[in-house]
Amino acid sequence: MNSNGYELILCIVNNGFTDLVMDAARREGARGGTIFHGRGTGNPEMEKFFGFAISPEKEIVIILIEKEFKEAVLRSINKAAGLETKGQGIAFTLPVSDVVGVEEKKV
């Protein structure tokens, strides 16, 4: 497996909190990410309470990052937009292979 030394950070946050996530990630060495929309399916109680379907809007931030920055970026994201903040973010990483289109960071 050609791992290239990269990992993918996936962060699911409440709508409107992606800036916090990206700022936190950039502080620790991330360069860019991609955002797309999603809907949460947790908390079925909400639906019953209001009588109609409400699905909480979520945004997903994906950041491809060198392994050495992973830990620091994850911690930073968790601090800025983790479950204890209004962002209610969940972040995790996945090992990736066959990475294309990322230039090595110049030291």
Can you give the binding site for another protein, defined by CB under 8 A? 1-2, 6, 8, 18, 22, 26, 31-37, 61-62, 64, 94-102
- Nearer to another protein by Cβ, of 53 and 100: the residue is 100
- Nearer to another protein by Cβ, of 49 and 103: the residue is 103
Q: How far is the CB of 85 from another protein (least distance, A)?
A: 19
Report residue 87 as tokens: 């962002």
Q: How far is the CB of 52 from another protein (least distance, A)?
A: 26
Using CA atoms, how far apart are residues 51 and 61, in angstroms rounded to an integer? Answer: 31
**Among 38, 28, 37, CA closest to 80:** 28
- Nearer to another protein by Cβ, of 51 and 101: the residue is 101
Q: How far is the CB of 50 from another protein (least distance, A)?
A: 26
Q: Tell me which H or E stretch contains 41.
A: none
Burial (CB < 10 A; 0-12, 13-18, 19+), residue 51, is exposed
